[in-house]
């Protein structure tokens, strides 16, 4: 797998969404790399990372872990967005690394049957070459979309970050993903779950439910924001992440 590697110090691993890109973390990577070593993998089939066939989430997790070990990393903090939060939780549960802290942006840890069926349908649509862009009409808060159409275009462009069949395989794997929610009590690291107030993809109630099952978790609900906090609330999200990972009190904004 291809990893972007920035800075020096304690390691922070950034895990992008489905679909997503290394570049989606660029402002956060710059901020974190001033004090830490930031590693950002491109998932299989994205960029120069070779694809995996058959696509299995556990195998991808193992690939990430093996690459980290090959770089001498045995402990890290993790920041995940959307589908990347599932990968982060899976790594925290695998026990191969000491995960010191996590930040989950729009968290997901498992699906009911309705959610699984939605992912199956998305996978089938991607494989058939359907245009998935209309799905992103509700990815951000409506007012933000009106004010910042260029940011919405950046989000939608992530659909072109990998071939349609790679995205179909990835979505299909999430449709069949193990439900991690019953295991949340085993997550021992400090965890911040940050979610938009009007996030329709991973509603705030999901983050609240996860946090209630975790021994050391805090929820931040961001007013007026949807699913893409690094675009809709860039400065606030960067401040929250850096403060959490450095064990500082969250920045209070008026």
Residue 121 confidence (pLDDT): 97
Query: Which tokens is 239 given?
Result: 């401040």
| Residue percentage of the chain with pLDDT more than 90 | 89
Token look-up 């649509």 returns: 125
CATH number at residue 185: 3.40.50.1820
- 107 is a domain residue: yes
- 181 is a domain residue: yes
- 238 is a domain residue: yes
- 83 is a domain residue: yes
pLDDT-derived band at 209 (thresholds 50, 70, 90) equals very high
Residue 136 confidence (pLDDT): 84
Domain of 100 in residue numbering reads as 3-111+132-164+177-245
Instruction: Please report, for the chain, how many H helices and E strands are present, in that order.
Output: 10, 7
pLDDT-derived band at 247 (thresholds 50, 70, 90) equals confident
161 Cβ contact list (under 8 Å, min separation 6): 19, 20, 21, 46, 47
119 three-class SS: helix
Which of 89, 77, 85 has its CA nearest to residue 36?
77
In sign, the C-alpha dihedral spanning 164, 156, 122, 80 is positive
- 172 is a domain residue: no
What is the side-by-side order of every strand in the sheet holding 217-222?
Answer: 3-6, 37-41, 11-15, 75-81, 98-105, 190-196, 217-222
Query: Could you read off the pLDDT of 80-121 as tens digits, one per residue?
Result: 999 999 999 999 999 888 999 999 999 999 999 999 999 999
Mean pLDDT lowest among 23-27, 43-47, 246-250: 246-250
68 three-class SS: helix
Which of 82, 231, 222, 26 has its CA nearest to residue 145?
231
- 207 is a domain residue: yes
Residue 97 confidence (pLDDT): 85
- 29 is a domain residue: yes
Query: Could you read off the pLDDT of 150-179 as tens digits, one per residue?
Result: 989 889 988 899 999 999 999 999 999 999
Q: CA separation (Å) from 142 to 153, 172, 199, 225?
A: 14, 29, 11, 9
Query: Could you read off the pLDDT of 28-58 as tens digits, one per residue?
Result: 999 999 999 999 999 999 999 999 999 999 9
Which stretches does DSSP call E strand in 82-167? 98-105
The count of domains in the chain is: 1
- 252 is a domain residue: no
């Amino acid at each position: 797998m291809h990893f972007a590697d920035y800075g020096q110090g304690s390691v922070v691993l950034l895990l992008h969404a489905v679909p997503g890109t290394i570049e989606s973390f660029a402002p956060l990577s710059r901020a974190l790399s001033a004090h830490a070593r930031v590693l950002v993998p491109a998932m299989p089939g994205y960029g120069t990372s070779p694809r995996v066939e058959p696509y299995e989430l556990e195998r991808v997790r193992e690939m990430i872990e093996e690459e980290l070990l090959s770089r001498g990393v045995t402990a890290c903090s993790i920041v995940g967005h959307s589908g990347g939060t599932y990968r982060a939780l899976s790594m925290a549960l695998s026990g191969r690394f000491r995960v010191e802290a996590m930040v989950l942006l729009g968290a997901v840890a498992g699906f009911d049957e309705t959610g699984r069926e939605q992912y199956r349908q998305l996978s089938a649509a991607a494989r058939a070459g359907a245009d998935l862009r209309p799905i992103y009409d509700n990815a951000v808060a409506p007012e933000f979309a009106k004010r910042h159409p260029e940011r919405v275009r950046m989000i939608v462009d992530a659909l072109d970050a990998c071939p349609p069949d790679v995205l179909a395989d990835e979505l299909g794997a999430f449709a069949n993903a193990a439900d991690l929610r019953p295991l949340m009590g085993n997550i021992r690291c400090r965890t911040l779950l940050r979610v938009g107030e009007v996030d329709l993809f991973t509603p705030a109630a999901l983050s609240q439910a996860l946090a209630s099952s975790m021994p050391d978790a805090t929820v931040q609900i961001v007013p007026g924001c949807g699913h893409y906090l690094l675009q809709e609330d860039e400065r606030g999200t960067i401040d929250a992440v850096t403060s959490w990972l450095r064990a500082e009190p969250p920045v209070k904004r008026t």
